[in-house]
Amino acid sequence: MSFFNKFLFLVAFSLSATNSHAALTIEISEGVSSTLPVAVVPFSSTGASVNISAIVNADLERCGYFKMMAEQAMPSKPNTASAVNFNEWQSASQNYLVIGQLADAGNGQYNVQFQLFDVYKSGQLLGYRMTSSAADLRKTAHHISDLIFEKLTGKKGVFSGRIAYITTTNPGSKQQSQQLQIADADGFNPQTIASSVEPLMSPSWSPDGKRMAYVSFERKSAAIYVQTLATGERLRVAEFPGINGAPAWSPDGTRLALTLSKDGSPDIFILNLSTHSLTKLTRSFAIDTEPSWSPDGNSIVFTSDRGGKPQIYIVSSQGGDEKRLTFSGSYNARASFSPDGRNLVMVHGNGNDYRIAIMDMSNKSINVLTSGRSDESPSFAPNGSMILYASKKGGTGFLSAVSIDGKIQQKLVFNSGEVREPSWGP
Amino acid sequence: MKLNKTIIALAISAAFLSACSDTDEKDASLTDGSLNANSGINDASTNGLNKGYGMNGSTMNGDYASTLGPEFNDPNNPLSKRTIYFMLDSSEVMPDFVTVISAHSQYLIANPSQHITLEGNGDERGSREYNIALGEQRAKSVASMMKARGVSENQLNVVSYGEEKPAVLGNNEAAWEKNRRVEVAYQPR
């Protein structure tokens, strides 16, 4: 507890004219106490509908690493380096300063430039000038956040990423329907890529972020689809009798690991997407499901109850001996590897509560990161720093994110409906 | 003096600019395409869904079973009970429900053209795909008891919805115990 304090605040996003369907607000419920003070001065702007500096400020605030200076507290609002007086920012106890400009370049294009300064060294750390179409201004803002984050923390930013999730509209009513949506990492620009009154499940990003595999019950039984995001074109790749579930892309994007129960009990199979050949990987008489690939593609972890309770097992993606990995806790399920392959994240249950836990692959020690009663569907951020997961409180499902050391916690509150099964994409 | 340096040091990285324009192209195609995707997919699902709309779930099938005869609506007749409940993380049929399964088995044996779907379900706790597997095990437990009583395999269809179709919404044991279930859904003949 001495490493971090608890604080709570809300970042409420205001909507621009072009983004009328707001997605969510993000609460940071826990952050590191050693947050770096950063001031993002509102950029000068001509005629743009997107407030780039506000987006950058919100991104940096939300990630939990920085303490952002309120605009009202700023001693001045420079937009050029020559107008910066480092003494006054030092007096205001700011470590870093971001300034910038946004100018209409005509033909729907904007020139964007920004600079990041180290206030105490009175020197520039970063400076970029870029061109952005009006439609891409939000993306440009997230890109700026990524550049600043990486410069200040040494870790890759994830503000430009996207998330997929399932949401239910009109839950409990006859009009109830499920949507598979994709949104920016800050919840903006939600787009429905599939919609059904029957369940949609288990969205899985292709490694290049161009396709999505998911399970749909729209034909009254489970089938696995692969959808190309750019065109909306989709293929039904598995519709066998029984379970067709838990699709997981191989790191090279050529194969899907999946769960089929066509032979009796649920087993893990590998489907080659170009040859359509199907290889059976596990053969137990128990439940084997929820496959996930190691980053090198050599191994697959999965959930099995062959020992009586669900636990995590590992097998070579070529097949062979299946080895149990988890021994602590009565319930361990839905494991997936961190991008560096060193950790596994999973749902960890003690019979009462189901929480998100991380396991160190080198010594198999388990660290429980969350404190909900029903936390599930953990998904690593592409940079491995945060884990997105689904949580429930008072009957409503929402998304949360936690840093891999458990110190930073965010709650993503969607404006309407239940949200579940998040998947953090590239 | 350092300030002067910083003023002229607005770095423009050529590598970044080229990377950025790649991104821009990608972004543009995605934005355009995603809009197409929306309409394409909504059309596709809507078609599929309209076909099935109103025919699914316990309401319609429940209504159908209740039209089969007065015994399906008589609370004293086990045929009126078409839900079998389970313990946490278990697919073992509890003794209380043997009478219900036997009654439906006898009806199916006597009416060999009648088909049913056994819909397996679970509570919301734990992971969703594992709950799909658990729901299937529950439905298969009921199916194998029916087969053991002489029901033809051809009359039985099994589907698992896991935790995706709760009978009751709620985060407490009262809701969970109503959701760990197999529904016996009579299919229109």
Q: pLDDT-based confidence at A396, cuts 50/70/90?
A: confident
Please write the tens of the pLDDT for every residue from A344-380: 999 999 878 999 999 999 999 999 999 998 999 999 9
Asked whether residue B8 is assigned to any structural domain, the reply reads no
Chain A residues with beta carbon closer than 8 angstroms to that of B161: 199, 217
Asked whether residue A189 is assigned to any structural domain, the reply reads yes
Q: Distance between CA atoms of B84 and B144, rounded to whole angstroms? A: 14
Mean pLDDT of chain A: 89
What is the pLDDT, as a whole number, of residue B37? 30
**Residue B19 confidence (pLDDT) above 70:** no
What is the pLDDT, as a whole number, of residue B33? 26
What is the pLDDT, as a whole number, of residue A416? 62
DSSP string, B10-53: ----HHHHHHHHHHHHHHHHHHHHHHHHHHHHHHHHHHHHHHHT
Asked whether residue A41 is assigned to any structural domain, the reply reads yes
Q: pLDDT-based confidence at B38, cuts 50/70/90?
A: very low
Across the interface, whether the CB atoms of A333 and B126 are under 8 A apart is answered yes
Question: How many angstroms away from the CA of B44 is the closest CA of chain A?
Answer: 9
Q: What is the DSSP letter of A374?
A: B
Asked whether residue A107 is assigned to any structural domain, the reply reads yes
Asked whether residue A354 is assigned to any structural domain, the reply reads yes
Task: Pick the last residue of a domain from A153, A181, A214.
Answer: A153
Interface test with A, best of B36, B132, B163 (most A CBs within 10 A): B132
For B148: left if phi > 0, alpha if psi spans -120 to 50, otherwise beta; the answer is alpha
Q: pLDDT-based confidence at A219, cuts 50/70/90?
A: very high
Q: Closest Cα to residue B120, out of A380, A327, A261, A284? A: A261
Across the interface, whether the CB atoms of A245 and B129 are under 8 A apart is answered yes
Q: Are residue A113 and residue A211 in the same domain, yes or no?
A: no
Measured CA to CA in angstroms, residue B96 lies from B81, B83, B166 at distances of 12, 12, 22
Measured CA to CA in angstroms, residue B32 lies from A135, A136, A150, A191, A339 at distances of 11, 12, 30, 12, 30
Asked whether residue A121 is assigned to any structural domain, the reply reads yes
Asked whether residue B1 is assigned to any structural domain, the reply reads no
Tokens found for residue A377: 């569907």
Interface test with B, best of A139, A184, A312 (most B CBs within 10 A): A139
> In one letter, which amino acid is A214?
Y
**Residue A14 confidence (pLDDT) above 70:** no
Host domain of residue B133: 57-187
Which is more confidently placed, A27 or A165? A165
Q: pLDDT-based confidence at A426, cuts 50/70/90?
A: confident
Give the pairing type, strands A311-316 and A299-304.
antiparallel
Q: Are residue A187 and residue A320 in the same domain, yes or no?
A: yes
Strand order in the sheet with A234-238: A200-205, A211-216, A223-228, A234-238
Q: Are residue B32 and residue B100 in the same domain, yes or no?
A: no
Asked whether residue B34 is assigned to any structural domain, the reply reads yes
**Residue B43 confidence (pLDDT) above 60:** no
Q: Distance between CA atoms of A218 and A257, rounded to whole angstroms? A: 21
CB A360 within 8 A of CB B135: no
What is the pLDDT, as a whole number, of residue A22? 42
Host domain of residue A168: 162-425
**Report for A13-17, A183-187, A367-371, B13-17: range of highest mean pLDDT:** A367-371
Q: Are residue B75 and residue B47 in the same domain, yes or no?
A: no
Domain count across chain A: 2
CA angle B108, B112, B115 (to 5 degrees): 65
Rounded to 5 degrees, what are φ and ψ at B70? -60, -30
Q: pLDDT-based confidence at A83, cuts 50/70/90?
A: very high
Q: Are residue B25 and residue B62 in the same domain, yes or no?
A: no
Domain count across chain B: 2
Q: pLDDT-based confidence at A24, cuts 50/70/90?
A: low
ipTM (interface pTM): 0.87
Nearest to B136 among A132, A232, A261 (CB): A261
A422: how many CB neighbours lie within 10 A of its CB? Answer: 25
pTM over 0.90: no
Nearest to A122 among B3, B36, B136 (CB): B3
Chain B residues with beta carbon closer than 8 angstroms to that of A220: 52, 56, 159
Asked whether residue A21 is assigned to any structural domain, the reply reads no
Please write the tens of the pLDDT for every residue from A308-348: 999 999 999 999 999 999 999 999 999 999 999 999 999 99
Asked whether residue A232 is assigned to any structural domain, the reply reads yes
Q: What is the mean pLDDT of residues B60-81?
A: 84
Asked whether residue A8 is assigned to any structural domain, the reply reads no
Tell me chain B's radius of gyration from C-alpha atoms: 27
What is the pLDDT, as a whole number, of residue A47? 77
Question: How many angstroms away from the CA of A385 is the closest CA of chain B?
Answer: 22
